[in-house]
A and B are shown apart, each in its own frame.
Chain A
């Protein structure tokens, strides 16, 4: 019996490899959220239905495919993988279970900057969150960091870069931001849009339209554009005149939902204004890098998530709804379920509550659900 790490499974997702996943969590949890891969096959049988043995399911597991057993935290998948090995099958279990799947970040280099700097995207493959690091001449800026802050600080150290600025494009509702923690640890400035930060309990720099920040002596500019809609404060960035970090406003195959801070009706108009006017005025050559992906089809061949703004204006349904009433209807009616514990997550990001790590993990379980399609 072998262990397979989240990193190894991520490689299989990106390379479109085949894998047979026996998910032994209960049916509700499996239907809510699972490991997605273009060529993955699934069988969901809860571990508690296998306590008397795996014989009843053996004929449902192809013998010629690599087999991975998955559960919530690891324990049950080890038990079931052992039983499968005793029955003569090769089986691996997922190290740390869905908990580690939710927390794994894959750093992908997404491009070079004009003066020798680099742009990295951190793909949180299990939850669909995307964070960014801009590195230039020994300095780094981070946008929309997740709570796994060591990944970012270690990465910057490896690149010999000092983290100077940490930004959140908005007050997140689906995951706990690591921005404030990274800033505290490194002495970097932490920036938040003031309109999203009215209730926060800590000091921050006001991120406002037109703000410009330089990273490294090579003048990589990070330019803020006020772009409300997902939240009232949502702000996008243009980095190095090449990349548009769109936060939760515009995704590859969908657009942001305006209801997670409770005001779908009010913000539908802002969202439309941002997408159909402010973004429309930007260069179509800008490469859009959002804060999330929802489906595995949004991944590029190298595992990154990005597309030219011009291409999105041609192909993204959410950018092509002429009738304002129809648009309003799409973004305020029949919305998908809200992310798990989203109110508690918002309060954590405001500094109002400080749940322990175990509780934070639990709050973040499941997909991000920040989009409407």
Chain B
């Protein structure tokens, strides 16, 4: 998947992964994809709920050896 931007939020605890995701998504254009890497397990539910409430689209997420990766399309 072609990401316009990759955000490395590994090692950061809640709420920082989402605080940084919000900032990073402000820096890309609508329709572009942001790739987020985090190690905070709480992010799975929180990012899904956040994208839904903000009108972005969570395209997919995967667990790559403990690093959680998310692809979010800006709404």
Range class of the B interface residue count: 10 to 19
Write out the residue numbers on chain B whose beta carbons fall within 8 Å of the beta carbon of A48: 15, 18, 22, 46, 49-50, 53
Is B15 in contact with A27, judged by CB distance below 8 angstroms? no
Residue A47 at the chain B interface, CB threshold 8 Å: yes
- List CB contacts (< 8 Å) of B8-53 with chain A: 13-16, 18-19, 22, 41-42, 45-46, 49-50, 53
| CB contact under 8 A between A76 and B49, given known A51-B19, A51-B22, A362-B41 | no
Is B15 in contact with A28, judged by CB distance below 8 angstroms? no
Residue A29 at the chain B interface, CB threshold 8 Å: yes
Q: How many A-B residue pairs have CB under 8 A?
A: 41
Q: Is the interface of B mostly helix, strand, loop or mixed?
A: helix
Residue A70 at the chain B interface, CB threshold 8 Å: no
Residue A71 at the chain B interface, CB threshold 8 Å: yes
In the complex, per-residue mask of A42-70: 1 if CB is within 8 Å of any chain B CB, else 0: 00001111010000000000000000000
Is A76 in contact with B53, judged by CB distance below 8 angstroms? no
Is B19 in contact with A73, judged by CB distance below 8 angstroms? no
Q: Given the complex of chains A and B, what is the CA–CA distance between A51 and B41 in angstroms?
A: 20
Within 8 Å by CB of B13, from A27, A28, A29, A75, lies: A75
Write out the residue numbers on chain A whose beta carbons fall within 8 Å of the beta carbon of B14: 47, 71-73, 75-76
Write out the residue numbers on chain B whose beta carbons fall within 8 Å of the beta carbon of A72: 14, 42
Is A26 in contact with B18, judged by CB distance below 8 angstroms? no
| CB contact under 8 A between A28 and B53, given known A51-B18, A71-B14, A76-B15 | no
Write out the residue numbers on chain A whose beta carbons fall within 8 Å of the beta carbon of B45: 26, 28-29
Q: Given the complex of chains A and B, what is the CA–CA distance between A51 and B15 in angstroms?
A: 10
User: In chain A, what residue has the closest Cβ to B45?
Assistant: A26
Residue A87 at the chain B interface, CB threshold 8 Å: no
Is B42 in contact with A46, judged by CB distance below 8 angstroms? no
Residue A79 at the chain B interface, CB threshold 8 Å: yes
Min C-beta distance of A27 to chain B, whole Å:
7
Q: List 23 A-B contacts (CB under 8 A).
A: A26-B49, A27-B49, A28-B45, A28-B49, A29-B45, A46-B46, A46-B53, A47-B14, A47-B15, A48-B22, A48-B49, A49-B50, A49-B53, A51-B15, A51-B22, A72-B14, A72-B42, A73-B13, A73-B42, A75-B14, A76-B14, A76-B15, A362-B41
Q: What are the nearest 8 A-B pairs in CB distance? A: A76-B15, A48-B50, A26-B49, A48-B18, A75-B14, A75-B13, A26-B45, A47-B15
Spell out B's residues near A (CB within 8 Å).
Answer: 13-16, 18-19, 22, 41-42, 45-46, 49-50, 53
- Besides A75-B16, A79-B15, 9 new A-B residue pairs in contact (Cβ under 8 A), listed by A number: A28-B45, A47-B14, A48-B15, A48-B18, A49-B53, A51-B19, A72-B14, A76-B14, A76-B15
